[in-house]
Amino acid sequence: MRSTAEARRATVLDRAVSVFARNGYHATPVTAVAAAAGISEAYALRLFSGKQGLFVAAVEACYDRILATLESAAEATGSDDPAKLLEALGDAYADLIADRDLLLFQVHAQSVSDVPEVAAAVRSGYKRLVHFLRTAGATDEQIQHFVAYGQLCHLIVTAGLDNVDESWANALTAGMRHVS
């Protein structure tokens, strides 16, 4: 059984992703995250050693969720063919980023990668992703393609391109599947 502090930490991280997703790192006070989690700002600061610690922990939790989802999808495919596996992982990721908060949080995390601790957490998340994909048998070229498509998915969803019926938008969204 988890301690109260561990359970509260998990709740705060879940809420932090949602709250930071709305306004980003710089414009979100710890009080907003604490209020969403139903705790005091002082307790939130004690749990995470400040706003930066909270944001970095949320980045790590975000990548934990992504990797757990991809690992489950990989197990569910039962295929050893990297191409089929990557297709299934892409579908799982498309389902995952239907959670707009998770998607926007990732975009915000990348946008504040000038903060060294945030950059380190983002790089660590991608390092774990690449390691997982290599373990699944993907080549570096396939991994690059997978990540590039993931970033294209971010653009399509955040800019609402699948709702734009113009040739330029259709060129970017052709063959892409997203959950509305």
From first CA to last CA, the distance across the chain in angstroms is 37
Q: What is the pLDDT of residue 4?
A: 83
Long-range contacts of 135-144 (CB under 8 A, 24+ apart): 136/74, 136/82, 136/85, 136/86, 136/89, 137/80, 137/82, 137/85, 138/82, 138/85, 138/86, 139/82, 142/82, 142/83, 142/86
pLDDT at 98: 85
**pLDDT, averaged across the chain:** 92
**What pLDDT, in 10s, does the model give residues 17-51?**
999 999 999 999 999 999 999 999 999 999 998 99
Q: Where are the alpha helices (DSSP H) in the chain?
A: 4-27, 30-37, 41-48, 51-77, 82-96, 100-111, 116-135, 140-158, 167-173
pTM of the prediction?
Answer: 0.91
